[in-house]
Amino acid sequence: MRILLKFTVDCDPDAAWRALHSPRAVAEIYGPLMDMRPLSALPAAWEPGDDVAMELTLGGIHLGSQLITVSERTVQEPEGTVRIFRDSGVPLTGPLASLDVWDHQMAVSPAPGDPGRTLWRDRLVIAGRSAPALWPVLWGAWQWRAARIRALAPTWAHDPGPAPTSD
């Protein structure tokens, strides 16, 4: 079963790509609805090969834990470069642990006709005996994520300039 989203956000693709690698930015996407806490050391930035277990809570209620396994790739399309961030980890505990497949990919590229904005594509593939029951809940959560990504993206574009030098 799949959930597919495609929308534009108000930041450039480099800022969106940096946000995808930021555990803090990812946690902000789910907040304040859901809280994600690492069960081990959290990297400053997600890197290919990372495996980090996270605990998920909703309003203080434990939803379970999830292993985030990071990989990435780049694809050349006629419209330009597409960078893809993939979480192919697995739910470890809680209701989602009954899923056999969890494959979440987020692709960012310049928005058609507006390279200062980002075309964001989000795909979640799930499978398992509980997938039909969990799909509507996850679909709703992905709509929430899309709204949060759109709201937060303008804040990702801030790149501080170099520190002033004293002469």
Altogether, the residues listed in the chain come to a count of 167
Low-confidence ranges of the chain (pLDDT < 70): 158-167
Tens digit of each residue's pLDDT (9 = 90 or more) over 60-80: 888 899 999 999 999 998 878
Distance CA 100, CA 72 (A): 21
Cis-peptide into 32, omega within 30 deg = yes
Residue 145 lies in a domain: no
Host domain of residue 86: 2-131+150-156
Which residues have C-beta within 8 Å of that of residue 69, sequence separation ≥ 6? 50, 51, 87, 88, 89, 90
Coil, helix or strand at residue 87: strand
Which residues have C-beta within 8 Å of that of residue 137, sequence separation ≥ 6? none
The reported pLDDT for the residue numbered 18 is 96
> What is the CATH classification number for the domain harbouring 42?
3.30.530.20
Number of domains in the chain: 1
Residue 16 lies in a domain: yes
The reported pLDDT for the residue numbered 98 is 93
The reported pLDDT for the residue numbered 161 is 44
The reported pLDDT for the residue numbered 48 is 96
The reported pLDDT for the residue numbered 164 is 54
Strands 34-38 and 114-127: unpaired
Residue 15 lies in a domain: yes
Residue 138 lies in a domain: no
The reported pLDDT for the residue numbered 116 is 92
Residue 163 lies in a domain: no
pTM: 0.89
The reported pLDDT for the residue numbered 52 is 94
